[in-house]
Chains A and B, each alone.
Chain A
Amino acid sequence: MKIIVTSDWHLDWATGGLPRFADVFAAVQVIVDAAKREGAEMVMFLGDLTDPDAVRAHQAVSVAMWVATHLWFCAGIATRWLVGNHDVVEDGSGSSSLSAVHAFGVALPRGAKQGVKVYTEPEVEVFGNKAILALPFTPRSHPYDPLTFVRSLDPNPGGVIRPIDLVVGHLNIEGIGPGSETTDMPRGRDVFLPVAAIRERWPDAVVCNGHYHRRQVFDGVHVPGSLARLTFGEEHNSPGYLVVEV
């Protein structure tokens, strides 16, 4: 199964006073075109669509809705949306800037529900014959411990651990060099991706994580990075996306 993985759109952001909506939206269209051209079955967004209280948040949500509807209804490509630290609304409701997309996915008719889904909580989803472990950002109002969750997937003693093909997260990675997502755009708290526990259980799983704006591979974790150079600290980044086969 081919999946296009992208992250950290931050459609509300402005750099040096210049709103970046147009830039990022153009890059999102490149992603949509790539998904169709590559024959992908899914586009996976790894979090940070927009700050929910940003002036341009409504435009960011409209882009996400357009991507989800266009890909599903025009190309039959499913989308998955992971809640990032910038997306969460810390009002105790558990809502996020992806709530509209979530509602849309839930409202899809039976038989089409696999088209759109938002990962608001940790979960394992079986899509086709592939298992996806999703570890979204853990807000203070609805916290979970990623390591405990990963360990909870262990079977009873002597049993077989459920195979996972793809792990996606929007968490911190131990030891990775912090970038502008930490220095210029901090939000929320640090909760770490349990890389060792994941590797121990599913050594062959592809692990992808959002949050970091520089595209890189760190400790075996694939980071797609953001779609644009969003701050002056990202001058040397090469924005883009990932094509993952699982």
Chain B
Amino acid sequence: MTRKLRSEAAAQTAAASTAAVTDDRSSVGGVVGVTVDSRLVVTVEPSAEVWVGGGIDAQVARGAIVRLIPPADATDVLIATVRGAFETAGAAAVRVVPRVAGGAVVPRAAMTPAASAAPVREVVMQMVNEARVDDAEREQLRAVVDEALTAEGL
């Protein structure tokens, strides 16, 4: 019976069973708790160093069931690389969940500089130059506009 069950178990997973008693007893009210070795279950958070080039702890990864939560900016290549690292280290299973959602609005600090704009004086004077007037009137117009712009500090 045991052999049959063991073979069924082995067929389900290639990973070796790790259960064994550890000498970790605690007694509360005369009731003793005994810890049994158990396969690790590990979550790799978006803030983990592994996403920015840090290494993985092979001892933790070996035989573990790993859940990867990539940061919002993780590329598919990076995710595949991290997944492969855990698999190479002997993880029993690696599950990748969707990236954490990025911010809906681009943070101010991450914004690219606004497109450069021509100074107001340059734009207005260009309009003066293109006005459909004769040269004398254009000079008068330029003087008036120049005075106005100067008064506004432009």
- With a CB–CB cut-off of 8 A, which chain B residues contact A62? 1, 5
Interface check B42, CB cutoff 8 A? yes
B31 touching A235, Cβ below 8 Å: no
B5 touching A27, Cβ below 8 Å: no
- With a CB–CB cut-off of 8 A, which chain A residues contact B36? 27, 30-31, 227, 239-241
Query: CA separation between A25 and B42, bound complex, in Å?
Result: 21
The number of inter-chain residue pairs (CB within 8 angstroms) is 126
Query: CA separation between A27 and B37, bound complex, in Å?
Result: 8
Q: Which of A12-20, A87-95, A103-111, A170-178 lies at the interface?
A: A12-20
B34 touching A17, Cβ below 8 Å: no
Interface check B118, CB cutoff 8 A? no
| A30: contacting residue among B13, B19, B28, B33, CB under 8 A | B19
A22 touching B17, Cβ below 8 Å: yes
Instruction: Scan residues 15-61 of chain B and give those whose CB is less than 8 A from a CB of chain A.
Output: 15, 17-21, 24, 28-36, 38-43
| A18: contacting residue among B5, B33, B93, CB under 8 A | B93
Q: Which of A134-142, A186-194, A214-222 lies at the interface?
A: A214-222
Closest to A19 in B: B12
Which residues of A are interface residues toward B (Cβ below 8 A)? 15-23, 25-27, 29-31, 33-34, 59, 62-63, 66, 69-70, 206, 208, 215, 217, 220, 222, 224, 227-229, 231-232, 234-235, 238-245
> Can you list 17 A-B pairs, Cβ within 8 angstroms, ordered by A?
A17-B93, A21-B9, A22-B10, A23-B17, A25-B17, A26-B18, A26-B19, A30-B20, A30-B36, A62-B5, A206-B31, A227-B38, A232-B41, A242-B32, A242-B33, A243-B34, A244-B30
Closest 4 CB pairs of A and B: A26-B17, A22-B9, A26-B19, A16-B95
